[in-house]
Chain A
Amino acid sequence: MATVELRNVRKQFGTHEVIHGIDLLIQDREFIAFVGPSGCGKSTLLRMIAGLEQVTEGEILIDGSPAQDVPPAKRGLAMVFQSYALYPHMTVAENMSFSLRLSGTPKAEREQKVRTVARILEMEPLLERRPSQLSGGQLQRVAIGRAMVRQPKAFLLDEPLSNLDAALQGQMRLELARLHRELNTTMIYVTHDQLEAMTMADRIVVLNQGNVEQLGSPLELYQHPATFFVAGFIGAPKMNFLDAEVKTVDAQHLTLMLTTGTSITVPAPLQKLNANEKIKLGIRAEHLALEPEGELRGEIEALEHLGPRAYLHTRLADGTRLVAQTDGDTQARPGDHVAFRARSEATHLFNSSGKALTRSDPQAEPC
């Protein structure tokens, strides 16, 4: 159990800076996810916490003590790698007990610890096998088991599920969440898959080009994205964005002229807007409803049936594409001309620099 604190952490590879001064406090026993597109610096950040990558500038504190100059093994952290990184020449039991062997733990104690972890992860029959004899899911379990045996202060997980098939990913997500509850240990989880972050993490750090875009609970990020980037990254299907121009604005309402030629009125944001100012309007798929008199008219290009719900992929008059969620038993068909009404209070507004325009004071999140 540990807190991990980053203070103005920077990382340069040669002259190229990839992490631009990140401040973050990861609470004890928290499950935090670093999420972002590839190349955003999330893995580098994790590797710096692990000690596998030097910090160019700034401080990393583990349980309040500076850790930059502490070698990886002495930081008390355990890491699960994307490619599992098991030792191919060792059995599962040897893989799991390797760290204990290096630290001089007596054999009997090593065996007992390995058996305990194997029991928790339900992989006792695998102990004498070698990694080459295991399936992807089993390899993943061993990698997690190897980390657990060390009883680390915190787990660092670097895209641990990305090599598994979709069904196994779902199962392992639940298992990791259960493990976090049972072990009650800090977990730092890196993923490019926002679904993994949303379903498991207490808090999510959205990273973009080496900067923190937003930090918050999954729901906060989903409901109140701070930037255009976060709005587009969090949530599946992606939020719909429409280019708009401010027509009229008063204390209560904002009327926008869309590039489709129709206008829409939404609650006004706190920030002052001028007439003719160009902004972006964001609408989630579930906040669009089929309605004959709706302001967004277009033609259905494709229909995705997911059982309980369906997604209508629609092209609007100006060519903008829009995804709307509807009931699974919808009668709509590709080629149909339809109209949607947006739930105006659930829409999002972003100014030209990509910052969200808020309608109420956003809850200040300690960073």
Chain B
Amino acid sequence: MRRIGQVRWELAIVVWAVALGMFFPILWMLLCSFKTEIAAVATPPALFFHPTLENYHAVLERADYLAFARNSVLVSLGSTLLALALAIPAAYSMAFFPTRRTRDILLWMLSTRMLPAVGVLVPIYLLWRDLGLLDTVFGLILIDSISVLPIVVWMLFSFFREVPAVILEASRMDGATQIEEMVHVLLPLCTPGIAATALLSIILCWNEAFWSLNLTTVKAATLTTFTASFSSPEGLFWAKLSAASTLSIAPILIFGWMSQRQMVRGLSFGAVK
């Protein structure tokens, strides 16, 4: 018993150390956002300083934060809904009507995530330009949903696989069409998993910067573009950049904090039957 207790303590120390290590950059960013530009780059860094809100004032004066935030909300929710709408039937079909090629298709889908986005920048840019989707919220929703789709399909596929096929057969015997089978039986059974998938997708889309920077300018730009606009090749900008970053990540951080219970529940869905 004593040994187990000791191991638990050691483990707790390691876990705390790792967690603090991961949290440190965010903490540092938060501290910098309340420093003056001079204090933000001072060496050695000042741990105790007079906090100031001047960076936040400057950032909010220079750009329409709410417009960027609104785009971020629209893009992350829209992309997630579109990705779910496409992925649910795809995962259903692959989980319950697998063919010899299902595994290959799943791996191929995942492999598209391994391709650096910049590799398809030119064709996507030209396509979006010709379709009139550049700098539109819909254009960004489309590209973001495509980029999260493999992960969403994979997650849903593994959640759906946990549902015994016989339950769906029972609903078929009860007279359910495939749509009814999904709506009344499969989706309610997988709610925790779908919620976790949706949360993860929202977070990924919120933090997505590459397409936002390259396919939008003003109208459809999201908070990642807003943040990037405060970085400059010269001059002092760390404190303002930190303030902009803090403003960008604050909503999703709060959202993630609030939904962590659902996330954990969903990700461990089916693990204990």
Please give the residue numbers on chain A whose beta carbons come within 8 Å of chain B beta carbons, in ascending order: 50, 52, 71-74, 77-79, 81, 83, 85-89, 98-99, 102-103, 146, 150
Please give the residue numbers on chain B whose beta carbons come within 8 Å of chain A beta carbons, in ascending order: 164, 166-167, 169-176, 180, 184-185, 188-189
Q: Which residues of B contact A50 (CB under 8 A)?
A: 173
Question: Are B173 and A79 in contact, with the CB atoms below 8 A?
Answer: yes
Question: Are B174 and A52 in contact, with the CB atoms below 8 A?
Answer: no
Q: What are 23 A-to-B residue pairs whose CB atoms are below 8 Å?
A: A52-B169, A52-B172, A52-B173, A73-B175, A73-B176, A77-B173, A79-B169, A79-B173, A81-B169, A85-B164, A85-B167, A85-B169, A85-B170, A86-B167, A87-B170, A87-B171, A87-B185, A88-B167, A89-B188, A102-B175, A102-B180, A146-B174, A150-B174
Bound CA–CA A52/B170 (angstroms): 10
Knowing A98-B184, A102-B180, say if A85 contacts B174 (CB, 8 Å).
no
Q: Which residues of B contact A103 (CB under 8 A)?
A: 175
Question: In the complex, what's the smallest C-beta–C-beta distance from A195 to chain B, in angstroms?
Answer: 25
Q: Which residues of B contact A79 (CB under 8 A)?
A: 169-170, 173
Question: In the complex, what's the smallest C-beta–C-beta distance from A96 to chain B, in angstroms?
Answer: 10
Bound CA–CA A86/B171 (angstroms): 9
Bound CA–CA A72/B171 (angstroms): 10
Question: In the complex, what's the smallest C-beta–C-beta distance from A185 to chain B, in angstroms?
Answer: 16
Question: In the complex, what's the smallest C-beta–C-beta distance from B95 to chain A, in angstroms?
Answer: 17
Q: Which residues of B contact A88 (CB under 8 A)?
A: 167, 189
Bound CA–CA A298/B125 (angstroms): 90
Bound CA–CA A88/B185 (angstroms): 9
Q: Which residues of A contact B176 (CB under 8 A)?
A: 73, 98, 102
The 9 tightest CB contacts between A and B, nearest first, are A73-B175, A99-B174, A85-B170, A85-B166, A102-B175, A89-B188, A79-B173, A72-B172, A85-B167
Q: Which residues of A contact B172 (CB under 8 A)?
A: 52, 71-73
For A79, give the chain B residue with the smallest CB separation.
Answer: B173
Say which residue of B166, B169, B171, B189 sits within 8 Å of A98 (CB atoms). Answer: B171
For B187, give the chain A residue with the smallest CB separation.
Answer: A89
Bound CA–CA A102/B178 (angstroms): 12
Bound CA–CA A276/B232 (angstroms): 104
Question: Are A102 and B188 in contact, with the CB atoms below 8 A?
Answer: no
Bound CA–CA A344/B193 (angstroms): 67
Interface contacts beyond A85-B164, A99-B174: sample of 9 additional A-B pairs, CB < 8 Å, sorted by A:
A72-B173, A73-B174, A74-B175, A77-B173, A81-B166, A83-B164, A87-B171, A98-B174, A102-B176
Q: Which residues of B contact A81 (CB under 8 A)?
A: 166, 169-170
For A147, give the chain B residue with the smallest CB separation.
Answer: B173
Bound CA–CA A87/B173 (angstroms): 13
Q: Which residues of A contact B169 (CB under 8 A)?
A: 52, 72, 79, 81, 85
Q: Which residues of A contact B170 (CB under 8 A)?
A: 79, 81, 85-87, 146
For B185, give the chain A residue with the smallest CB separation.
Answer: A87
Question: In the complex, what's the smallest C-beta–C-beta distance from A159 to chain B, in angstroms?
Answer: 12
For B166, give the chain A residue with the smallest CB separation.
Answer: A85
For B168, give the chain A residue with the smallest CB separation.
Answer: A85
Knowing A81-B170, A89-B188, say if A99 contacts B164 (CB, 8 Å).
no
Question: Are A87 and B180 in contact, with the CB atoms below 8 A?
Answer: no
Bound CA–CA A50/B176 (angstroms): 14
Question: Are B173 and A73 in contact, with the CB atoms below 8 A?
Answer: yes
Bound CA–CA A150/B166 (angstroms): 18
Q: Which residues of B contact A85 (CB under 8 A)?
A: 164, 166-167, 169-170
Question: In the complex, what's the smallest C-beta–C-beta distance from A253 to chain B, in angstroms?
Answer: 55
For B167, give the chain A residue with the smallest CB separation.
Answer: A85
Q: Which residues of B contact A99 (CB under 8 A)?
A: 173-175
Bound CA–CA A102/B172 (angstroms): 11
Q: Which residues of B contact A89 (CB under 8 A)?
A: 188-189
Bound CA–CA A52/B172 (angstroms): 8
Bound CA–CA A3/B189 (angstroms): 36
Q: Which residues of A contact B175 (CB under 8 A)?
A: 73-74, 99, 102-103
Question: Are B173 and A83 in contact, with the CB atoms below 8 A?
Answer: no
Instruction: From B166, B170, B172, name the one whose CB has the most chain A CB atoms within 10 angstroms.
Output: B170
Question: In the complex, what's the smallest C-beta–C-beta distance from A88 to chain B, in angstroms?
Answer: 7
Question: In the complex, what's the smallest C-beta–C-beta distance from A132 to chain B, in angstroms?
Answer: 11
Bound CA–CA A146/B169 (angstroms): 14
Question: Are A83 and B174 in contact, with the CB atoms below 8 A?
Answer: no
Question: In the complex, what's the smallest C-beta–C-beta distance from B27 to chain A, in angstroms?
Answer: 42
Bound CA–CA A73/B172 (angstroms): 6
Q: Which residues of B contact A146 (CB under 8 A)?
A: 170, 174
Bound CA–CA A307/B63 (angstroms): 92
Question: In the complex, what's the smallest C-beta–C-beta distance from B272 to chain A, in angstroms?
Answer: 13
Question: In the complex, what's the smallest C-beta–C-beta distance from A4 to chain B, in angstroms?
Answer: 15
Say which residue of A72, A74, A83, A102 sits within 8 Å of B166 (CB atoms). Answer: A83
Question: Are B185 and A78 in contact, with the CB atoms below 8 A?
Answer: no
Bound CA–CA A310/B57 (angstroms): 95
Q: Which residues of A contact B167 (CB under 8 A)?
A: 85-88
Bound CA–CA A86/B185 (angstroms): 10
Question: In the complex, what's the smallest C-beta–C-beta distance from B171 to chain A, in angstroms?
Answer: 7
Question: In the complex, what's the smallest C-beta–C-beta distance from B245 to chain A, in angstroms?
Answer: 42
Q: Which residues of A contact B171 (CB under 8 A)?
A: 87, 98
Bound CA–CA A356/B180 (angstroms): 52
Question: In the complex, what's the smallest C-beta–C-beta distance from A91 to chain B, in angstroms?
Answer: 13
Question: In the complex, what's the smallest C-beta–C-beta distance from B71 to chain A, in angstroms?
Answer: 36
For A71, give the chain B residue with the smallest CB separation.
Answer: B172
Q: Which residues of A contact B189 (CB under 8 A)?
A: 87-89
